[in-house]
Structure formats: C-alpha cells, structure tokens
C-alpha cells in the first residue's frame, strides 16, 4: 500500500459524507466562474483547456512518484478507454460551458446533469440491460421536465441570446458525459482512482489544446478578473470537486453520490440568483424539479436493477 493510499484509507466514513458535501459545493461554482470568465471574453475552449491542463499537471508528480508500478501494468484496453473517457469528458465540458452563453445557469446545470438518464437509455438500448420500474418513471419525469423547460425557452429569463440553443447544447453535453462515464467504467477496472483521474485529465487536456490551437484561440492577454475566474475554476470544481467525487465513490455508492450531487444544481441556481440576478421563469422551476426527481429515480432504480 502506497503512502497516498494509507492516508486515504485512514479517513473515517462520516468524513466521507462531509467531503461529499464539500465536493457538491465546490462543483456548484463551475457555471458561476465559467460565466464570469466568459464575460471577460475568454473562449470556452480556453477555459476548459486551463481546467484540464492544470489538473493534469497537479496530479503528475503525485502519480509518477507513488503509482509507477500501477502505470506499468496498464493494458492497451485500459489506456484506450481512458483516452476515450478523457476526450468525451472534454467534449462534455466544452458543450456544457458553451450552453452558458445562451441560457441560464439553472437550465444549463439541470439539463447538463441528465447524464444518468442517457446512461440508462444506452444500457437498455445497446447493452440490453433490464431496468426497474423506477428507472422508467424517472425517464418519464425527466422527459416531462425537459419539455416544460423547452416550452419556457421563449421567455426573457436567459442572460444568453438563444435559450433554445443553450437547451440543445446542455442536452448534448449530458449525452457526452454519459459516454465519458461508460468509457471510464471500462477503463477504471483495476486502476487506483488517482492514476485514472490523471490519465483522463491528461487525454482531455491534449484534446482540448488541439481544439484551442486549431481554432486559433489566444491563451494570454485576458483581464485579471478573467484569470481569477480561471484559477477558481481549477481550484474548486476541478481539483476539489472532481477529485473528491471520484474518491468518495470508493466508500459511498454511486447512486448515493449521484443523488446528493443534485444539490449542486440547486446551489448553482441560488448563486446565480444572488450574483447575476437570474430569476427563473415560471415554468423553469417545476421543469427543473421534475428533472431532478427523474434523475434521482433513475439512480435509485439502477441500484435495484443490479
């Protein structure tokens, strides 16, 4: 057992609950600082590149120092699936943050967090997994909530210029997130969570940097407020939120983590209300609540299906 593993194993179960809440709070700031960075005219691809590149660099000395034996044992299949997971995670983030340019934080966060729904549909359609009644009820609730939000997209609630496009990008982002999670499951078998996280961040960073170079987006010359937002994005959602979420999955069920993670959507909406004066339209609130309930039912139903 490595020194890092010995430290993490010493953390008691009740602390995992506190850590999960910290991760939820840290993740809730992602759309907030993302919007601040966008207001400072930083392209979305540059925002995501900063997140992933710095995340990979922070973990590199830890992984190379403590996990060399595990890295040598990586199979070609694990590396390929890890690369795929990293690329799809980058696509998920790019689309999700781009949606913030066109719709509200609440809509972007709620629809962007429907990855469990797409995972369930993929498993039923392609992997032929039999789901419980709870999953189907959850799918219906989510579809209903999405329809309600879509009907509200003609209002003036959005800070963006095209709420319909924002809704579409959020949904595609969630689908990309589902592929990232499915590929990650295939890659992570037999790999400690830090090397897995480092591998995903690294491949995601490489892919995003290729996109930045291909589009000619500048990586320097922005305001101090913009760089502050980038720094906080890296510190809170990336290094604290993402890392803790992956860690607590070792001792808490994926269903429990996913359900508690829905609190992040509510926190993000509250933060957007106070910081950006985003007031949800009348149909946004019931639609968002229906989707959150649907995701919760799907997560609970998937446990019963296992």
Residue 123 covered by a domain = yes
In this prediction, residue 3 carries a pLDDT of 46
In this prediction, residue 6 carries a pLDDT of 46
Q: Residue 290 to residues 143, 155, 197, 284, 285: CA-CA distances in angstroms?
A: 9, 19, 32, 10, 9
Residue 31 covered by a domain = no
Q: Residue 102 to residues 61, 92, 224: CA-CA distances in angstroms?
A: 38, 16, 24
Residue 295 covered by a domain = yes
For residue 46, what are the contacts with CB-CB under 8 A and spacing of at least 6?
212, 217, 218, 219
Report whether 11 contacts 239 (CB < 8 A).
Answer: no
Residue 202 covered by a domain = yes
- Which residues form the domain of 69? 49-305
Residue 64 covered by a domain = yes
Number of domains in the chain: 1
Residue 10 covered by a domain = no
H-type helices in the chain, by residue range?
A: 3-9, 13-28, 30-39, 44-66, 68-72, 76-99, 105-112, 115-125, 133-151, 163-188, 193-215, 224-233, 243-248, 254-261, 263-276, 284-305
Residue 84 covered by a domain = yes
Residue 26 covered by a domain = no
DSSP state of 220: S
In this prediction, residue 109 carries a pLDDT of 86
SS3 176: helix
Per-residue three-class SS string for 15-77? HHHHHHHHHHHHHHCHHHHHHHHHHCCCCHHHHHHHHHHHHHHHHHHHHHHHCHHHHHCCCHH
Distance between CA atoms of residues 109 and 153, nearest Å: 15
pTM over 0.85: no
Report whether 97 contacts 48 (CB < 8 A).
Answer: yes
H-type helices in 189-223, by residue range?
A: 193-215
Mean pLDDT per block of 10 residues along the chain (306 residues) reads 47 74 92 94 96 94 93 91 94 95 85 80 69 76 76 54 85 92 79 89 96 94 95 91 79 68 82 85 77 77 56
In this prediction, residue 243 carries a pLDDT of 82
């Amino acid at each position: 057992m490595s020194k890092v593993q010995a430290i993490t194993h010493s953390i008691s179960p009740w602390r995992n609950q506190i850590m999960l809440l910290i991760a939820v709070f840290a993740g809730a700031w992602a759309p907030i600082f993302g919007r601040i960075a966008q207001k400072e005219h930083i392209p979305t691809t540059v925002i995501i590149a900063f997140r992933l590149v710095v995340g990979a660099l922070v973990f590199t000395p830890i992984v190379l120092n403590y996990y060399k034996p595990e890295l040598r044992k990586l199979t070609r299949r694990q590396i390929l699936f890890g690369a795929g997971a990293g690329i799809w995670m980058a696509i998920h983030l790019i689309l999700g943050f781009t949606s913030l340019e066109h719709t509200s934080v609440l809509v972007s966060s709620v629809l962007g967090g429907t990855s469990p729904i797409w995972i369930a549909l993929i498993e039923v359609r392609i992997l032929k997994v039999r789901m419980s009644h709870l999953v189907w009820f959850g799918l219906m609730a989510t579809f209903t909530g999405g329809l309600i939000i879509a009907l509200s997209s003609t209002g003036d609630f959005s800070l963006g210029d095209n709420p319909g496009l924002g809704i579409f990008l959020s949904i595609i982002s969630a689908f990309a997130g589902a592929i990232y999670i499915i590929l990650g499951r295939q890659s992570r078998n037999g790999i400690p969570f830090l090397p897995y996280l480092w591998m995903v961040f690294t491949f995601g960073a490489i892919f995003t940097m290729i996109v930045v170079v291909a589009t000619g987006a500048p990586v320097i010359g922005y305001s101090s407020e913009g760089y502050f937002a980038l720094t906080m994005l890296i510190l809170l959602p990336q290094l604290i939120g993402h890392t803790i979420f992956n860690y607590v999955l070792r001792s808490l069920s994926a269903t429990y983590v996913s359900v508690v993670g829905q609190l992040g959507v509510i926190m993000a909406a509250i933060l957007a209300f106070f910081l950006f004066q985003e007031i949800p339209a009348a149909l946004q609130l019931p639609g968002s609540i229906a989707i959150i309930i649907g995701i919760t039912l799907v997560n609970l139903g998937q446990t019963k299906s296992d």
